[in-house]
Amino acid sequence: IHLRPALRALQDFALVLGQLVARIRMQQQNERQREARATALYGLTRDLANAGSRDEVVWQVMAQVNRVFKASAAIILPFGERLAPHPDSMLAVSDKELAVADWAFRQRKWAGRFTDSLPGATALHVPLATERNVFGILAVSMPEIMSASFNTEDCAAACTSSRPLLR
């Protein structure tokens, strides 16, 4: 009879302990992901600094997006009065996606998937810009499995590192 309160307390303790262990494991996993992304961003910055041409910058950015986000990407650049994907882009860009890229380019705002602006788009369209100029758009289309864990802040950091190099 006297053992029931002790067993109940032990069960409660085990439940709380299990929740704490699960929380610590989740924090460790998140920290490992942040570390991997920071390392990848450092590698991208180093590779971009060594790039000798606009094409090399495009290749480095697309390779890094593929490595970090397991996603297809396109760099969309202005050619005269219109935008067009760089020939080496790994993402096929439809007319609809080009229209979203054009909007993001002109408004200097993120648009498409994961945003409030034109969210029906297949890809996320991120302006590659400095304070004064927009140099192009990074379009990223991730597999469904990655969408739930996508963090726009990580993408923003990657895009920020490539801004001055696309001039």
**97 vs 147: CA distance, rounded Å:** 18
pLDDT in tens, 127-136: 988 888 888 9
Q: What is the pLDDT of residue 136?
A: 92
Mean of pLDDT over the chain: 83
Confidence at residue 116, expressed as pLDDT on a 0 to 100 scale: 92
Task: Quote the pTM value.
Answer: 0.67
- Out of 3-7, 20-24, 85-89, 125-129, which region has the weakest mean confidence (pLDDT)? 3-7
pLDDT digits (tens, 9 = 90+) for 53-108: 888 888 888 888 888 778 889 999 999 989 999 998 989 999 999 999 999 999 99
Please say if the pLDDT value at position 161 is more than 60: no
What gap in Å lies between CA 44 and CA 162, rounded to an integer?
A: 8
Q: Which amino acid is present at 161?
A: S
Q: For the chain, what's the residue count?
A: 167
Give CA–CA dist 128/134, Å, rounded. 6
